[in-house]
Chain A
Amino acid sequence: MTSPLGKDLLGLEHLSAEQISLVLDTAEPLKEISERTIKKVPTLRGATIVNLFFEASTRTRTSFEFAEKRMSADTVNIAIAASSVSKGETLVDTARNLEAMRIDMVVIRHQSSGAARFLAERIESNVINAGDGTHEHPTQGLLDLLTLRQRFGTLKGKRVCICGDVLHSRVARSNIWGLTKLGAEVAVCGPRSLLPSAIEQMGVHVFDRIEQAIEWADALNVLRLQLERMQAGYIPSLREYNRVFGVTRERLDRAPRDILILHPGPMNRGVEIDSDVADGPHSVILEQVTNGVAVRMAVLYLLAGNSPRLAEAAKGGA
């Protein structure tokens, strides 16, 4: 059978608005499962899922693992430190090994853009991109969309500004594709040294000042500013970053309307976002975490069964 999403979920850029809406529509009823005493449905009983993490990520991995377990899949976590081996060989060899072990699905997090696709093209199993380099993080994008849709009812005409290090952010790219496809207006705001030089061609507005973004937006998705960016010379200091681009209570108080605050986590409190904003009444950061599990369950459900091998086994054939 063919999954409505295709074999893999590699990014939101190449999904249609209908496909994205289907994931969100599927995720909605799945939220209820996490409220049950027995938080488990038998949907993926017997399916083997490998969480292949070449980069440490407690949050995303945990969320995927909960989603998989709530769908009754058997999961194995493989964490591979990038520094310990020659990277390229490992990915090809890992792909071949997984194939040989008859894995049904692979969730991959990797530091190289395109790594998920690389794997997907080489194995029959469904591949879910849990973040590839600075390319995409589709499940994060989907959970952000779900969170916004629940709050706004619809994304059509809503204004969402992605703030911070867009250049190095896979979350930003997935958000830009997802939001624009669902009809939202999208802007980015950050120091130009942390924005791709061709960003306008991605169909977004650009604000140089956070005050302008706050003036304009219905929601801010505040990206994590990694310490390495300062070390690499993109910005002079975290202190100045907070002064110029920090999302602070003071700045939000001057907004013409209530603004929803999203953050993909983990937060650097006092850098890109202040604590009283993160913990404030308009923060939906914890809803994002809850929705993350539901969205990932939805993706697992929609992709599973697209594997020809599983279908054959179910028929008792071949």
Chain B
Amino acid sequence: MTDILLKGGRLLDPSSNLDAVGDLLVRDGKIESVGGNIAGPDGATVIDCTGQVVSPGFIDVHCHLREPGREDVETIATGARAAAAGGFTAVCAMPNTDPVTDNQAAVGFVLKQGRAAGAARVYPIGAISIGQRGERLAEFGEMVGAGAVAVSDDGKPVVSSQLMRTALEYARTFGIPVADHCEDPTLALGGAMNEGIVSARLGLKGIPAEAEEIMAIRDILLARLTGGHVHLCHMSTRGSVDLIRWGKDRGIRVTAEACPHHLSLTEDAVEGYDTNAKMNPPLRTADDVRAVQEAVKDGTIDVIATDHAPHHYDEKEREFSDAPNGIIGLETALPVNVTWLVKPGIISLATLIDRMSCAPAKLFHLPGGALRRGIAADVTVFDPAAEWTVDPKGFRTKGRNTPYAGMTLMGRVLCTLVEGSVVYHQGVG
């Protein structure tokens, strides 16, 4: 394995308060040294990082890689390569596949396919309930033993409060977060977008913010009751972040994620019945976007996760109410976050790196999330000022369902290193 020298970049690692221009040397898959002017050892590959940011690799705690079951839409390999192209060195795959990742063998399969891909690391998330049916707990212990890093029934909420309580209690033994998709299914029934003036105008059934908030506060209260770690997926409303803040203020073990689309787009994107603006939770109001941005800034929202959800072209090419929810996100997460959060000065680059790398590593107990001597070299190099126009045709993911197509965004990944290997380099592959 050749040494790699990242030369002259801005080394930015909020976990160690590092922010300095300098070099970073990778040897045997590990970070050998960080900072200062490092002379390149013989035979080292030197990557010129002038003008680039060198940061700990991004970690996505929420994506859908569709394998097994829908390999026509995405495979673990294509998803892992898309992740690498987006600067992610690790992703957590949600278990709502077919069959559901609800047992040791299924977890092992995801892990094996992830390793074989040789791109971003893939960590399986196990199901909370068998078959995600919301009835009986899956075997958390066996799944964690096989490599699962969290449990979730994402795609659906855990409707039964009793089941959620048990899951939070039971997960404590294994020290894993229970990630919940917060949605009151009766309030959200048949809904296609945020409930408000746009849904009223377009004649689409709305999903009120309260459908999310009611479940968010239920989960927070159950975390208080059980002492378990609840992780709230894709928070999208002002009410939700207020409730999370309330929980955190009381020392309740609640963490939360927000998605780049909820930090950048509003329900107005649905105008014209664009099915690429259809997701669950739906795009909300401008006020909600501001509140969630603010929550990312103050840490109420701990991490930014993509909720990458590829769909087949035909599935989105239909009437709005019948189209499936979700958009792809791995290859647009960084530029969307830079364009809507860093460029307008809402958060600093250091905060962004914390929310995309350090915090996810910490909350999900994953390696990485730092630029420190001796740890595995999971590193992302990106140009925060580069502008480029999104063209889904060039994506590594099989999905093309993005509302950002044609937009000119800021921030572009130059290369991604996983365990010291270059798994993505701009313009290569």
Contact = CB atoms under 8 A, between A and B. Distances in A.
A268 B317 CA distance: 37
A270 interface: no
Given A135-B203, A173-B203, A197 B321 contact: no
A48 interface: no
B200 A114 contact: no
Contacts of B200: 196-199, 201-202
Interface residues of A, number: 26
A173 B201 contact: yes
B322 A197 contact: no
B320 A198 contact: no
Nearest to B190: A232
A140 to B, nearest CB: 14
B197 A198 contact: yes
B206 A114 contact: no
B51 to A, nearest CB: 42
Interface stretch (A83-91, A237-245, A306-314): A83-91
Interface in A101-125: 110, 112-115, 117-118
A136 B195 CA distance: 18
Contacts of A112: 319-322
A132 interface: yes
B318 A113 contact: no
B203 A88 contact: no
Contacts of B314: 88-89, 92
A115 B201 contact: no
B320 A114 contact: yes
Interface string A150-181: 00000000000000000000100100000000
B196 A88 contact: no
A89 to B, nearest CB: 7
B386 interface: no
Given A117-B272, A118-B273, A88 B317 contact: yes
A203 to B, nearest CB: 10
Contacts of B319: 87-88, 91, 110, 112-115, 118
A275 interface: no
Interface residues of B, number: 23
B322 A88 contact: yes
Interface in B235-272: 272
Interface string B295-337: 0000000000000000000110111111100000000000000
Contacts of A118: 273, 318-320
A165 to B, nearest CB: 12
A270 B273 CA distance: 37
Nearest to B198: A198
A113 B202 contact: yes
B282 interface: no
Nearest to B204: A113
A30 B201 CA distance: 31
B278 to A, nearest CB: 11
Contacts of A113: 202-204, 273, 319-321
A202 B205 CA distance: 16
Q: Which of B200, B204, B205, B323 has the most CB of A within 10 A?
A: B200
Contacts of A197: 195-196, 200, 206, 208
A133 B320 CA distance: 11
A75 interface: no
A112 B204 CA distance: 9
Interface of A: 13, 87-89, 91-92, 110, 112-115, 117-118, 132-136, 170, 173, 196-199, 201-202
Given A89-B318, A114-B320, A173-B201, 18 more contacts: A87-B318, A110-B319, A112-B321, A113-B319, A117-B273, A118-B273, A118-B319, A118-B320, A134-B203, A134-B205, A173-B203, A196-B199, A197-B196, A197-B200, A197-B206, A198-B196, A198-B197, A199-B200
Interface of B: 195-197, 199-206, 208, 272-273, 314-315, 317-323
8 contacts: A88-B317, A114-B202, A117-B273, A118-B273, A135-B203, A173-B203, A197-B206, A198-B200
Counting from the closest, the 10 A-B pairs by CB-CB distance are: A88-B318, A135-B203, A114-B273, A112-B319, A196-B200, A134-B203, A113-B203, A198-B197, A201-B197, A198-B200
